[in-house]
Structure 1
Amino acid sequence: MTPTQSTSGPSQPTTPPAWPERVAALIPQTETHPFQVIARTYSLSLFLSLGPSLIPLVAKKSSKNALKRVLAREFGLTGFAFSITLAVGGGSVLRDLWRRLDDTLDLEAADTRATGTLKRWSACISSPYKTFLSHVLSSTAGLLLLQAGRRKRQSRSSRPSTSQTLDLTLLFVVRALDAAVQSFVARNSGSSRRDSDAALSLNRPRTAAERKRVRMRSQIDSLFFWACCARIMWCFFYEPQRLPKSYVKWINTLARVDPRLLEALRAIRSQKWSYRTGSPTHQNLLTTYAQELGHPASWGDPTLLPAYGGAHADKIWKSLGVTTRPGVGGLPCQVVHGKVGSSLGLQHSCTANAGLRGSKALVEAIAIYLPVQFLPILLSRPSSLLDPGRVLEALVGALRSATFLSAFVASYWYSVCFTRTLFLAKLFPSISHDFWDGPLGGVLAGSLLCGSSIWIENGRRRGEMALYVLPRAVRSLLPNSWVRTNSLYAVMGERIAFVLSLSALLTAANHHPHILRGLSRWGIRFVVNGPDVVFWRRQDPPKQESA
């Protein structure tokens, strides 16, 4: 017989696991565990807050003290990362504790009066409402912590008292309202599927209900984008203080309007600059501008320009040497157009002005949208660049988005000229150009028409673009007393909106993810459910084959 090894012999010494393995063994491996939610939330929010804060410091080569202040602010307990993690991760912890409490109550053999009452009370609340209530508590704590830190930093500066969390609140409010709209569309389209936007093909919907859902969503998105753009563009010309400064700067980069022309438009609105009554305090506002463009100073003098159209205007134009404005009054288009087309001798042409501005916007937009189309492919599926069809699709997408932006710019300028020069002012020459160049004239016409270019854009991008401009439009509608002061009603209203909106979004991500879309779907779903892999995943050792 072959001798066998005794099982009762001394055991072999085992090597204790290294500390990383011991740490990993303590960390839960499920994506939805509160620890995983907290880790993802803190990482993402720190990236979103620390990156924009460090870039200006690096660009300006700031001192080490400035860097220390930024790091202390962002990593502190009142920083954005910790506050948002408390709001999001804290709700996940509370929801997990509530779930454990329900499991404990279900295992109770003999219910006491207290546990029976608690069990019946908890059973009356559905799982989504439990998630919502948990995040209401944590969101309240997170917002109070965030506002306390920003209020403390604001008190050290000389800036006016302004809500430092208003833009974030509006972002959550808009995304929460969009989720409600998507839920309404899904119910009223007759679609029984609960697919997200990413799962639905906008080009070849699979059912009639899905086609109806896509059509309804596209119409709603386009309507919101059009209305928001009309409000934003009107505010850019007349009330830029209602918009974020960075947004005003970006619009001005595209519009390329001289500041003196903007000031003149605002003076016409306030009746401080008039073709009919003159402008004693602003008479020279545009005369120097006209001279810089190579025209006579009289072309910018409101006391000399005709206020009405018709034959009388033609006599004045003849005396001023203007030959390109028959039958209408107001400021010559050469002054309005600026230097656009001057190198081609087309500074007087409204069509050339709109076309050249649109062409320049097209070139600049292509440079922006090409990386937007190809960067996700390079990061996720670089091998698909070998597919000519995929490359062509990305190129067409970039060109389509660039064409949208080009049409946006060109249509605005052409609408202004169509109103004050080409048609409407000629059709009604008895109406003063104080009206045509006022807030209800060319500026309003351009603001109303430019947003219609959204129909050029891809259907899915219409929704994301509508959600991008909507917070800015909502902000411009708020009373200045709400935005510029910290009154009790404004503070309480913002807090309620923040808490309810964020709680609703997190509840939707946990229970109704199909109503989220775009960046909100990606960001919140990443935080709640994680990517394909989780943080600190423990690798199980390979199984050894038996001898």
Structure 2
Amino acid sequence: MAMQKLSPRSSRTTSIEQVVPPALRPVFRAYILGYASSTGPRLLTLLLTHLSRRRKKAGEQPEDPFHLSLFRILKGGLEFQRFPTFCAALVGGSTLLQLPFRRFFATFAAKLSRVAQLRLARWLSTFIAAWFSLKLLQSKDSDAFVDYVAQDTPTGRVERPLRWAGRTMDLSLFAVTRALDVMIGELWSQRKVKRVGSGKWSKLDLIISTLADPWIFSTSCALIMWAWIYTPDRLPRSYNKWIKSAAAVDQRLLIALRRCRFGEIKYGVETGQAHLLEGMCRSYHWPLEYGDPVKSIPYPCEMVHMGTGKSCEYHAVSRLGRSFLWAFSTYLPLNLLLTLRNPSKRAITNAVKSSARSSAFLGTFIALFYYGICLTRTRIGPRVLGTSTPVRQKIDSGLCVGAGCTLCGWSILIENAGRRKDFGLFVAPRALATLLPRRYLMEDQWKETLAFAMSTAVVFTCVGEKPERVRGVLGKLLHEVLSQ
């Protein structure tokens, strides 16, 4: 919903565009949109942080004055190697290079149809623009992608910088995901036309079409939640922090799950790990033996409930309620803020409904995640797999978390069909990122650049021919930006 409000064809932007030559208008829109999308979230975070700091006691002054932080954010977005310039270079190269390519093909490839010439010109111009615009982003140094390695030299031992690639991985995976969605969607659409025409379209085909987006979302969420539990370094820091806030889990419990997974905690064996959850027992006023893996086989499920009692079902319901209120208090102000442009009773009602539905979705997501763990540990797992110590170890070493990861994503069925595809395509690149290294050798960077350039060329070419095939808000946004 927020992205829909960022359409570059607002009345104010359109009036400013009149002084820009038509050929450069896509570049102008792309830069403005890139600048807004890169600075907007940071400005909102700065404002919220500033307001929260003002509530502190007198004398607790912020380290950095508000106006200096504001200036730094606004100035930073104007730097050459930042996202706005990348957007302008990508869109500008894609649109401005098409004409010379079309003339070239008209002269030297006259046997090709005009449609084929136009398609090839779009693809090649976008490929070249995407390659060099991503190189622009990759050229900016980042401390997180530089290590200092000690080396022996004739003058003594010195530290030399070792630069890693991968800082644009999320952007590249986003493009790859979108390209795959375009290609698979087009193939499925052609198959549907043929099967419907021949009367062979079946209920199974309908089910696949209906559940494709929920399946993408649930599978992606399963990978993300698994990584969040066991390998949080594979997730972006901001994403990791947001999941941590939403899950509201005691960190000692997470550490225990990881140590069970990697063999540091073993039921019935003294490994010196009892102190970890014994500290949690003191915090929640449980018997200390609850946290001892030698005496408690397995850990009581009450520890997973973190103070809500012994009932797994009550814990799930309480999680649903608390998470709903937490999400609603976040979504409602944002949705109401978006109605200020065209305030009306209907707009406010829709904002409340949308906030309630999204909050119910998130609350159900969290409740299913925890209840999936409880089902495997207490309700179903022991009855199916047994209650021996090795089985209990196996359950708490990954099976229970895997069940929670598998269940939680299906909460997307609460959202309407239009939102499901946006959510699915949003989380899919992040899920793929958990399967790939966050940093890799600089000499392999060309592979990522090639994947990004080819994928972006597919998406932009599709926007020019079949904009409806690029699903969700992105398709509408690109169509508006690229139009002359």
Normalising by structure 2, we get a TM-score of 0.80
CA distance in 1 between partners of 2:100 and 2:242 (Å): 47
SS in 2 for 1:437: helix
Report how far residue 86 of structure 1 moved: 1.0
Which residue is 1:344 aligned to?
A: none
Which residue is 1:179 aligned to?
A: 182
1:435 matches 2:431: no
1:455 matches 2:413: yes
Question: Which of 237, 259, 270 is the equivalent residue of 2:262?
Answer: 270
CA distance in 2 between partners of 1:275 and 1:495 (Å): 47
1:139-154 equivalent positions in 2, closer than 5 A: 139-150=130-141
Unmatched segments (≥5 aa) in structure 2: 1-15, 51-61, 149-160
Which residue is 1:108 aligned to?
A: none
CA distance in 2 between partners of 1:230 and 1:410 (Å): 14
Report how far residue 364 of structure 1 moved: 2.2
Report how far residue 65 of structure 1 moved: 7.2
Unmatched segments (≥5 aa) in structure 1: 1-22, 106-114, 194-207, 308-329, 342-346, 531-547
2:397 counterpart letter in structure 1:
G
On the 8 A contact 2:339/2:348 being kept in 1, the answer is no
Closer/same/farther in 2, CA of residues 91 and 293 from structure 1, 3 Å limit: same
Question: Which of 441, 452, 475 is the equivalent residue of 1:486?
Answer: 441
1:242 counterpart letter in structure 2:
R
Deviates more, 1:212-221 or 1:73-82: 212-221
1:502 matches 2:470: no
SS in 2 for 1:75: coil
Deviates more, 1:124-133 or 1:290-299: 124-133
SS in 1 for 2:139: helix
On the 8 A contact 1:160/1:484 being kept in 2, the answer is no
Closer/same/farther in 2, CA of residues 149 and 156 from structure 1, 3 Å limit: farther
CA distance in 2 between partners of 1:266 and 1:152 (Å): 28
1:363 counterpart letter in structure 2:
L
Report how far residue 267 of structure 1 moved: 0.7
Which residue is 1:536 aligned to?
A: none
Cα deviations across residues 437-484 of structure 1 (Å, max 9, x unaligned)? Answer: 111x21111111112222222111111111111111100011x3xx22
Higher strand share: 2
CA distance in 2 between partners of 1:465 and 1:442 (Å): 25
Question: Which of 172, 176, 193 is the equivalent residue of 1:169?
Answer: 172
CA distance in 1 between partners of 2:18 and 2:361 (Å): 52
1:408 matches 2:399: no
Which residue is 1:4 aligned to?
A: none
1:45-84 equivalent positions in 2, closer than 5 A: 45-54=34-43, 59=49, 62=64, 73-84=76-87
1:472 matches 2:430: yes
Which residue is 1:319 aligned to?
A: none
Closer/same/farther in 2, CA of residues 250 and 43 from structure 1, 3 Å limit: same
Question: Which of 84, 87, 92 is the equivalent residue of 2:90?
Answer: 87
Which residue is 1:525 aligned to?
A: 479
Question: Which of 287, 291, 312 is the equivalent residue of 2:278?
Answer: 287
Which residue is 2:119 aligned to?
A: 128
CA distance in 2 between partners of 1:415 and 1:175 (Å): 31
1:436 counterpart letter in structure 2:
I
CA distance in 2 between partners of 1:159 and 1:331 (Å): 44
On the 8 A contact 2:102/2:121 being kept in 1, the answer is no
CA distance in 2 between partners of 1:124 and 1:357 (Å): 55
Report how far residue 139 of structure 1 moved: 1.4
Deviates more, 1:120-129 or 1:267-276: 120-129
Deviates more, 1:504-513 or 1:118-127: 118-127
Which residue is 1:327 aligned to?
A: none
Equivalent pairs: percent with the same residue? 30
Closer/same/farther in 2, CA of residues 408 and 68 from structure 1, 3 Å limit: closer
SS in 1 for 2:310: coil
On the 8 A contact 2:31/2:87 being kept in 1, the answer is yes
Which residue is 1:227 aligned to?
A: 219
On the 8 A contact 2:179/2:455 being kept in 1, the answer is yes
Which residue is 2:469 aligned to?
A: 515
RMSD between aligned alpha carbons?
A: 3.5
